[in-house]
Structure 1
């Protein structure tokens, strides 16, 4: 599920993570309004994000390995458009 107030970048993040991880649950949250005027705020309103992803691709992987999969899917966005990304990644059946 994508935060509809997020606009274009949320749709790109959703598409990338869906293609890379085939998630059973996905939430993309734009947190930029909490960081307005802070370091990394580029004025676009799309600089700080949280993703909550549930995917079978994470089964048996460590937290770091899961984050790497997400970071790889969003690599160019992290380099150019996303200042901060909070990640909650779990396999199906995990709390």
Structure 2
């Protein structure tokens, strides 16, 4: 199972998202081909209702503690309630890598 699939499984189990995207953005960085080190996740969950951004990010960090302690070098998190996601419709684009 790829690291992206593991991330998807763990976030699904922990947060029961209504929408989930796990994007491997390693190719945008100065890493070997086929790396799984840089990810962007978009998580839409009812569990985020009434939570501040920090609490939402802590929930994601907790679900992915093993991956963040190991192979994941960078994780961009975009966390929304279903209402916020409906109003916004998309997460911001990731910036270009400054290191290559």
TM, length-normalised to structure 2: 0.80
For the pair 1:60 / 2:54, whether they are aligned, the reply is no
For the pair 1:84 / 2:74, whether they are aligned, the reply is yes
Q: What is the alpha-carbon distance in structure 2 between the residues aligned to residue 72 and residue 43 of structure 1?
A: 28
Say which SS state the counterpart of residue 57 (structure 1) adopts. Answer: helix
Deviation string, structure 1 residues 10-64 (Cα, Å, up to 9, x no partner): 110000000000000000000001112xxxx476510000000000010000001
Question: Any stretches of 5+ residues in structure 2 without a counterpart?
Answer: 89-100
Say which SS state the counterpart of residue 51 (structure 2) adopts. Answer: coil
For these two proteins, the number of residue pairs brought into alignment is: 85
1:33–1:68 Cα change, 3 Å: same
Question: Any stretches of 5+ residues in structure 1 without a counterpart?
Answer: 1-6
Q: What is the alpha-carbon distance in structure 2 between the residues aligned to residue 57 and residue 43 of structure 1?
A: 36
TM, length-normalised to structure 1: 0.84
Runs of 4+ deviating beyond 4 Å: none
1:9–1:81 Cα change, 3 Å: same
Task: Note the aligned Cα RMSD (angstroms).
Answer: 1.5
